[in-house]
Chain A
Amino acid sequence: MDNNFLVIENISKSFGDNKVLENINLNISKSEFFGLLGSSGSGKTTLLRILGGFEKPDTGRVILDGTDITNLEPFDRPLNYMFQSYALFPHLNVFNNLAFGIKENFTKKEIEINVRDIAELLSIEHLLNRRIKQLSGGEQQRVALGRCLIKKPKLLLLDEPLAALDKKLRSKTQLELTTLQKKLKITFVFVTHDQEEAMSLSDRMAIMKNGLILECSSPEEIYENPKSLYTANFIGIANIIEIYKKDKFFYSDDLGINFKLNKELIDTKTNILLRPEKIKIQSINNLKTSSFNSFSGEILEKSYLGSFTRYEIKINNMIISVLDQNFNSNSNYNFPKGEKVICSWESESIKILED
């Protein structure tokens, strides 16, 4: 696949003394659904605004489909931007909002056909005569999306596309958005602070922090094999354990147990990641022996989450989170608070964090 469709090259940007972006480099392929994930102040929105043409970078270039668009005005760029607030025109109805970007170059009949088509695609045909204020949040989101897609952009930029929707609608819209993107094959780049949203939408995603890209990979790779401590903590629940080399093994002071690692360590001290769903818990009664990569502990807290139960298990001086799938339909299945249990895991589940 051609991964030079959108090339972001050495982009830096400061507002006064405040460095917002430092030397950003990214290559995004055609038809890719790409996510920029970061907490507020990470520079993700500034990067998106630079792509949209609303901010000029201090250094670097943006190349879209072989053309340098760094110095083009927003109205000259073959891309569209969906605002977090949707920025729908309150003085126009839905039809005219959708037609806003094509009114100049199309005849009245062509506009009519195009608007009908896009409204059908987004199932908003019945709303065409409504005013913006008469629409629900979800409907507004569709109109904002339609207003961009009607221009058939090479690239669609989305700023927190689902942030303004309530939780139930959000998961439904997530699915629709991915289906739509795969159908239209338009390259989508979106910004979010919500890790779940980033994981479920993105083909690949970049984790941003303080104007830098920490990691860029597929959601699976970033969740399973994060390189940095920040990413490990930012995505999902993470048990971070500090270990150091002791004789042939790696020892954790907090847990008071030895670890067996698949990989040889360069440093004598490092952090390892153990995701909570990789840990298996069993009653202390029906387990034979404790060995490497297992420990006994006591359940401190438990919260029932429906499909999972989350336990906080104290072992030695450390509290470990464990997600246990509620496999049985028997409600007495869960371990009660204060119960002594044995936790174990595969040695492959232990991931070494580089920094």
Chain B
Amino acid sequence: MKNKLFEKYFVFSPYFWLVLFFFIPLAIIFKISISVSEWGMPPYQDIFLFDNGFKINTTFENYIYIFSDYYYIGSFVNSLFLALISTFFCLLIGFPLAFYIATSNVRLRNILLVLVVIPFWSSFLLRVYAWKIILQNNGILNVILLNLGITSEPLQLLYNQYAVIMGIVYTYLPLMILPLYGYLNKFDLNLIEASKDLGLNRFKTFFKVILPLSVPGIVAGSLLVFIPVVGEFIIPEMLGGSDRLYYGKILWEEFFVNRNWPGASALAFSGIIILVLPIVIFQILYSRWSQKNEI
């Protein structure tokens, strides 16, 4: 009887996890986002007031404020765009790499997988900082370009959106490669040979056989890159310039510079809803589609 009870709770453990680390924090953020801000610590008023009888003290001002100022919406759009482009490049670079790793022999495969994972062993901050050194005006890349005579003066490689995209693609590439590899690893190579045997060249075989059968891996890798990049704060902060503002940075500033916790919470909460809802809908549609197609 006790065992059965344990099993029952064990089955629900992912949901406990989800409630404890996702829904409760989300609820707290929502609570702060509808509070009235004030100077003090914490910088917002309680939502339940008891001094002159019970009173609910909430406001939607913060949401109105955010959605009426393009500064906030624009930064979110920038972040979405950044995530989209970065995911695309991660896929473009990651797919051939993952395919090569998955189809090479066991010894080479293990070496390559270790090489993919090695960057995780050093600090993420250090690696992004290293790019700063490489890309700066008197950095390695500019020195090489100058000495080769390709440019006559140092190029401004740092502090723009391109540096941000590059930094993100570099950082998030393993997150694209690993799920793709996991999926392509199970790929029946005979299918490629069968396609060629039936008269399709490499290019057509890729689009008719390899790509359609890799969709689950592509979806998994893309979500793993796309979602965290939307909220990415450190890379735009270190490599980016003032040409584009990103959502993560705006959030940081609202919280820590402006000390506008309710405003920042409203921004965070809106971001999650805008991001999570389409992804949930996509996942439902996708799982239906893949069930129908038995991939």
8 A Cβ contacts from B156-194 to A: 188, 190-191, 193-194
- Asked if residues B198 and A80 are in contact (CB atoms below 8 Å), the reply is yes
Q: Is the CB of B209 within 8 A of A80?
A: no
Kindly count the residue-residue contacts between A and B in the assembled complex, taking CB atoms under 8 Å apart: 64
Find the residue from B195, B197, B199, B200 having the highest chain A CB count within 10 A: B197
Query: For the complex, is A81 an interface residue (Cβ under 8 Å from B)?
Result: yes
Q: Quick one: closest B residue to A157, CB to CB?
A: B197
Asked if A278 is an interface residue, CB under 8 A from chain B, the answer is no
A: interface residue count bin = 20 to 34
Main secondary structure of the interface of B (DSSP, over half): helix
- Is there contact, CB below 8 Å, between A131 and B200? no
Contact of B200 among A53, A75, A85, A91 (CB under 8 A): A75
Q: Are A101 and B295 in contact (CB under 8 A)?
A: no
Residues of B within 8 A of A131 (CB): 293-294
Query: Is residue B244 within 8 Å, beta carbon to beta carbon, of the partner chain?
Result: no
Q: Is the CB of B213 within 8 A of A74?
A: no
Chain A residues closer than 8 Å to B208, beta-carbon distance: 100
| B side interface size, CB within 8 A | 20
Is A1 an interface position by the 8 A CB rule? no
**A90 interface residue per 8 A CB criterion:** yes
The answer to whether B193 and A101 have CB atoms under 8 Å apart is: no
Nearest-Cβ distance from residue B183 to partner chain A, whole angstroms:
13
- Identify which of residues 80-110 in chain A touch chain B, using a CB-to-CB cut-off of 8 Å: 80-81, 83, 85, 87-91, 100-101, 104
* Chain A residue, CB-CB nearest to B213: A91
Q: Is the CB of A81 within 8 A of B197?
A: yes
Q: Write the nearest CB–CB distance from A78 to chain B, whole angstroms.
A: 10
Q: Is A52 an interface residue (CB 8 A)?
A: yes
* A87 close to B294 (CB less than 8 A): no
Within 8 A of B (CB), among A159-210: none
Interface centre among B194, B200, B295 (most CB of A within 10 A): B194
A53 to B209, CA, bound (A): 19
B201 near A: Cβ within 8 Å?
A: yes
B42 interface residue per 8 A CB criterion: no
Whether B212 sits at the interface, judged by CB under 8 Å, is yes
B79 to chain A, nearest CB (A): 34
Are B196 and A87 in touch, CB under 8 angstroms?
A: no
Say whether A220 faces chain B, with CB atoms less than 8 Å apart. Answer: no
- B201 touching A87, Cβ below 8 Å: no
Tell me which residues from 278 to 295 in chain B have a Cβ below 8 Å from any Cβ of chain A. 293-295
A66 to chain B, nearest CB (A): 21
- Give bound CA distance, A44 to B199, whole Å: 24
User: Separation in Å of the B104 CB from the closest CB of chain A?
Assistant: 15
A133 at the interface (CB under 8 A from B): yes
Closest to A73 in B: B196
The answer on a CB contact under 8 Å between A83 and B190 is yes
Q: Tell me the smallest distance from the CB of B295 to a CB of chain A, in Å.
A: 6
Judged by a CB distance under 8 angstroms, whether A151 is at the interface is yes
**Are A87 and B295 closer than 8 Å at their CB atoms?**
no
Q: How far is the CA of A73 from the CA of B293 in the complex (A)?
A: 31
Are B196 and A83 in contact, with the CB atoms below 8 A? no
Least Cβ–Cβ distance between B117 and chain A, in angstroms: 29
Write 9 A-B pairs (CB below 8 A) sorted by A numbering. Answer: A73-B201, A75-B197, A75-B201, A81-B197, A83-B193, A85-B188, A101-B198, A104-B204, A151-B198
Q: Which chain B residues have a beta carbon within 8 Å of chain A's beta carbons?
A: 188, 190-191, 193-201, 204, 208-209, 212-213, 293-295
